Amino acid sequence: MTDAVFHETAAAPRTQAVPLAHLSLELGHLYMEDFEAGPGRLRRHFAEVRPWAEAARAAATARAAATARTGAQRARISTCFLVDDYFTRFSSPAEVVPMLLAEADRAGLTVDYLARESGCAVFGEVPVAEAVAGRIVESPPPSSHGIRPPAAQTGWLANGERSPAVRAPQAMKRAQVWRPPKETAARRHSVFLDTELFSDGPDGRTWSCPFLAAVWQLARLGLLRHQGEAVLSPRPHGDGGFPDDWDDLPPLLRLNPDADPFTAYRTCSVLPNRFLPVEHAVRVILDQTEVDPGALGQVAVRARGERAELPDSVADRVSYVFYAGP
């Protein structure tokens, strides 16, 4: 006889669906020093971004048209910009945002959504980063024996096997031989990476830039949920100005009322090449994160309905263009 198992419907929260564009195009992710350098620095940034943004748009448009059931399908593409207000608070939205939007407009670019990086750590009452960290499932290297402490304890996540710590030999024992680190999915040669997820100090936990960037990618891909509800949902801006304090600015602001959805099947980020190591770490994190299955299923069903090509790997839905920064 098989034992029956009963579950209350209320115990399994419904997974909220989100609208999906074909592409979320990030026009920049700059830090305090970039804004402190003034409008000229932003002007050079957007001048570098524009041709690559146009190329990304063209590729997304061609992909959407190729998979359309009947006739040409309009590619839904939204743009976004991420401001770092997590690691350093500087100036004010009232000063920074109009300057940012003016320089984007000068380059012929429109910023549909503006996000604050602190929203990738905590969104309202939701501990977003902590929730994503709880979904990390480390890929054990071959022949590992569980000696390495988990990432949740150490704050470090690797894409393979670390070099063993070399210690002085005990009496009657041989010294441990040094071995190089080894990437788990190496092709011929290893590209080993050990990335810091967070650090703990007297003021509490500080999430690392790569980890918050991984959360940012999950948000743009429409894969963040908290108790079934979508996380990092955009708020409309309206016609008013911008506040003097960053805490008074919504974590994700919809600046363009006619914009396509913020969340998308794929993402593309146009960034200065100094972000390359950060985004390598993002891929390592995404490859070892168990994404909400309800959200994954919803996106997969929508993609099949639109005949949109969607890689099984979440990390493979993310793309970049890196330009040579100043």
Share of the chain above pLDDT 90, in %: 68
State how far the Cα of 260 lies from the Cα of 76, in Å rounded to an integer.
6
Confidence of residue 35 (pLDDT cuts 50, 70, 90): confident
Mean pLDDT of 113-138: 95
| Domain boundaries of the chain, sorted by first residue | 17-134+199-323
Quote the pLDDT of residue 135: 94
Please tell me whether residue 65 adopts helix, strand or coil conformation: helix
3-state helix, strand, coil in the chain (%, to 5): 35, 20, 45
- 272-317 pLDDT per residue, tens: 999 999 999 999 999 999 999 999 999 999 999 999 989 999 999 9
d(CA 285, CA 308) in angstroms, rounded, equals: 25
What residues are paired with 116 via a beta bridge? 83
pLDDT given at position 235: 96
Nearest Cα neighbor of 317 from 262, 269, 275 is 269
Global confidence as pTM: 0.90
pLDDT tens per residue, range 137-172: 987 666 555 567 788 889 999 988 887 765 656 656
What pLDDT was estimated at residue 17? 92
pLDDT at position 61 over 80: yes
Query: What is the pLDDT of the chain when averaged over all its residues?
Result: 89
Q: Report the pLDDT value the prediction gives residue 162, as an integer from 0 to 100.
A: 82
Average pLDDT over every residue of 70-76: 72
d(CA 191, CA 269): 22
